[in-house]
């Protein structure tokens, strides 16, 4: 019998803080970075991919996708990234691609993930930035860790992990507030 999805919303504008240890010594704080966080388990985000796409495409000037591919999908995903994003960067086991956040760009990431094995393909993190990650000052680790180490650059991010664990972070603005309210209502129903 399927479980009901777990959905926790942390709105930094109301002082609700989502904290996470990043690396060995740094603690990420959603309040400090002004991000609204939707932390979920058991949500089928593919059902909401169009809403996510619409929300993310207007949240920053540079799109990004970071994946930590798992065997046997490592070479397949590296090839897909090269084909889709041209030049890619690597940091340890992470593959990083950048793109212009236009309509359907994020929807395409859902499709790439599904075609690469879905939950069994690895950990995926994607979203928008004000400028590209500075990989020279980053420590290799999980995709979410890379993004949160440079949270000041984030416009939005979504991470999809195995077993239905996922997190969406967005800078809440008057322009996207109704979309966020709609998205939370839909994933809770």
User: How do the domains of the chain map onto residue ranges?
Assistant: 6-188
pLDDT of residue 25: 72
Nearest Cα residue to 59 out of 151, 154, 174, 155:
155
pLDDT of residue 173: 82
Tokens of 87: 């030049």
Give the integer Cα–Cα distance in Å for 70 and 120. 7
Residues 6-38: pLDDT tens digits? Answer: 999 999 999 999 999 887 777 899 999 999 999
Evaluate whether 156 touches 36 at the Cβ level (below 8 Å): no
Nearest Cα residue to 59 out of 121, 12, 4, 102:
102
pLDDT of residue 2: 54
Give the integer Cα–Cα distance in Å for 22 and 103. 31
Pick 73 or 138 by higher pLDDT. 73
pLDDT of residue 36: 94
Residue 1: pLDDT above 50?
A: no
pLDDT of residue 111: 93
Residues 65-101: pLDDT tens digits? Answer: 999 998 888 999 999 999 999 889 988 889 999 999 9
């Amino acid at each position: 019998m399927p479980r009901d999805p777990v959905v926790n919303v942390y709105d930094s504008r109301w002082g609700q803080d989502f904290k996470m240890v990043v690396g060995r010594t740094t603690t990420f704080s959603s309040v400090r970075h002004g991000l609204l966080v939707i932390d979920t388990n058991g949500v089928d985000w593919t059902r909401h991919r169009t809403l996510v796409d619409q929300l993310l495409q207007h949240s920053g000037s540079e799109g990004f996708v970071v994946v930590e591919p798992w065997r046997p999908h490592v070479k397949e995903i590296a090839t897909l990234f090269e084909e889709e994003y041209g030049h890619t960067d690597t940091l340890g086991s992470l593959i990083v691609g950048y793109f212009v956040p236009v309509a359907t760009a994020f929807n395409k990431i859902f499709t790439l993930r599904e075609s690469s094995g879905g939950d069994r393909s690895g950990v995926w993190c994607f979203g928008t930035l004000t400028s590209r990650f500075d990989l020279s000052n980053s420590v290799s680790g999980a995709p979410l860790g890379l993004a949160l180490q440079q949270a000041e650059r984030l416009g939005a991010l979504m991470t999809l992990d195995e077993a239905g664990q996922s997190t969406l972070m967005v800078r809440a603005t008057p322009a996207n507030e109704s979309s966020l309210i709609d998205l939370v209502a839909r994933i809770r129903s």
